[in-house]
Amino acid sequence: MKLTIYHNTRCRKSREALELLESKGLEPEVIEYLKNPLSEKQIEELIQLLKIDPIQLVRVNETIWKENYKGKTLSNPEIIALLAKHPKLIERPIITSVTNALIGRPIDKLIQFLESN
């Protein structure tokens, strides 16, 4: 199974997800999206694969969000542009296969994902 993990090395949940994948003998492609920010097009593709609205990919408890955007009405393209500009706002970890994707929190979601793929 070809998997990709959008990973933040400083995030405990992201590290746990990567460790789980590796413990299952999987070798996912690791994309450290803070070091190599995603383009708006890549974010749009992730959102489509996740089958969510752009706002659901936003970490709304991050300081950047709370201080600058909380309570504002933003369009989907504006949210996607913000995620590209501030990759720290992207929920993590995101795990994708060729046809599916999920935000791997809690870890049980990732376990179910692996069992169904």
Cα separation, 58 vs 109, whole angstroms? 18
- 31-42 per-residue burial string, b: 16 or more CB within 10 A, e: under 16: bebbeebbeeeb
The verdict on whether 55 is a catalytic residue reads no
Give the active site residue among 2, 10, 11, 68.
11
Give backbone dihedrals phi and psi of 78, rounded to 5 degrees, phi first: -65, -40
Catalytic residues: 11
